[in-house]
């Protein structure tokens, strides 16, 4: 005699496992989609990737020429959406290459940055 829901015990377990696995895959896919839409995801913004200084260098030099006057180093970080350490390292290198000049402003606690005089 046959009682129950009409499925053998083994098939019912397989169906439950399949539904749980499919649910887990959907949850992972949703989490990955949500993560890639975060504003601080470097791939989704114009923010440069660490170690990729060329685009940031171009942005720094373009900003300096666009302003036509000194730009505070901290303001540069905010406008270019870059980490202060990353900007400081880049500016130090550009200063060594004589592409920019920096002048410490003690009252501001920051550097004025200018393109080097040609």
Domain with 66 in it: what CATH number?
1.10.10.10
Taking CA atoms, 38 is separated from 31, 78, 115, in Å, by 11, 19, 34
pLDDT, tens digit, for every residue of 62-109? 999 999 889 999 999 999 999 999 999 999 999 999 999 999 999 999
Q: What is the DSSP letter of 109?
A: T
Q: What is the domain extent for residue 91?
A: 48-115
- When pLDDT is averaged across residues 53-62 and rounded to a whole number, the result is 90
Asked if 7 contacts 43 with a C-beta cutoff of 8 angstroms, the reply is no
pLDDT of residue 117: 84
Residue 43 inside a domain? The answer is no
Let me know whether 89 and 55 are in one domain: yes
Let me know whether 30 and 76 are in one domain: no
pLDDT, tens digit, for every residue of 2-34? 555 555 667 777 787 677 766 666 555 555 655
What pTM, to 2 d.p., does this model score?
A: 0.54
Let me know whether 17 and 73 are in one domain: no
């Amino acid at each position: 005699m046959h009682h129950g829901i009409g499925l053998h015990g083994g098939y019912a377990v397989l169906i439950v496992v399949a539904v749980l696995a499919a649910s887990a895959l959907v949850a992972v896919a949703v989490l990955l989609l949500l993560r890639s839409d975060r504003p601080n995801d470097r791939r989704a913004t114009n923010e440069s990737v660490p170690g990729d200084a060329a685009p940031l260098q171009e942005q720094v030099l373009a900003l300096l020429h666009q302003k036509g006057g000194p730009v505070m180093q901290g303001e540069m970080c905010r406008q270019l959406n870059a980490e202060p350490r990353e900007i400081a390292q880049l500016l130090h290198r550009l200063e060594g290459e004589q592409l920019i000049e920096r002048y410490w402003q003690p009252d501001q606690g920051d550097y004025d940055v200018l393109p080097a005089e040609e």
